[in-house]
Chains A and B, each alone.
Chain A
Amino acid sequence: DAGVIQSPRHEVTEMGQEVTLRCKPISGHDYLFWYRQTMMRGLELLIYFNNNVPIDDSGMPEDRFSAKMPNASFSTLKIQPSEPRDSAVYFCASRRTGGLETQYFGPGTRLLVL
């Protein structure tokens, strides 16, 4: 079974541009999580979905960030406009209810905003 898939793996963009990160969770998993990791803050939970519905977005830094999950196999995290302080590694993770709460992470998207 394929793991969590994220794209792109690397993104370099200029300040002010729109950035869209994509995630395909493991088939059958009903929870999807978006995290951001930096040296300063570690791994931060941004938002999570259950059965495609956003449950808690309190970790989203500000209105420039938005996330959607139009179906069970796809989610996006969008930053518009991007700023240099958004530079980080963004991870998507999924798990299924009753699955010993184990989260499976994707390989991450390394974002650099110049």
Chain B
Amino acid sequence: RKEVEQDPGPFNVPEGATVAFNCTYSNSASQSFFWYRQDCRKEPKLLMSVYSSGNEDGRFTAQLNRASQYISLLIRDSKLSDSATYLCVVTGGSYIPTFGRGTSLIVHP
């Protein structure tokens, strides 16, 4: 089993739609969780951290379920500019990250 697993997609949604991605991790001792965004032919960039109580940043909501070992990312009112690959990232006790393969999102007019 891979350490961090994501549905590769692509998720193809119209503008204004709500879309959700899940990510599962295998190491129950994982410490920190993040979502990164990677645009085509660009480097990954931090989108948001994921906190145990869940957190929101504008149209983006991240949640963590430690019991089931998954994190989620919800995007409301999708914009064309949200089209990208979303990488789930999990770190262990050494704070060295493990990246998922990413979920591709395509938002169309």
Q: Which residues of A contact B97 (CB under 8 A)?
A: 45, 101, 103
A56 on interface, CB distance cutoff 8 Å: yes
Q: How far is the CA of A70 from the CA of B97 in the complex (A)?
A: 24
Interface of B is mostly: strand
Q: How many CB-defined contacts (below 8 Å) exist between A and B?
A: 34
Number of residues in B with C-beta < 8 Å to the partner?
A: 18
Q: Are A102 and B87 in contact (CB under 8 A)?
A: no
Task: Check A101 against B44 for contact (C-beta < 8 Å).
Answer: no
B40 to chain A, nearest CB (A): 12
Mark out the residues of chain A between 82 and 114 whose CB falls within 8 Å of any chain B CB in the assembled complex: 91, 100-103, 105-108
Residues of B within 8 A of A (CB): 32, 34, 42-46, 49, 87, 91, 95-102
**A91-B44, A101-B32 are known contacts; what are 5 more A-B pairs with Cβ within 8 Å?**
A42-B100, A43-B101, A101-B97, A103-B46, A106-B43
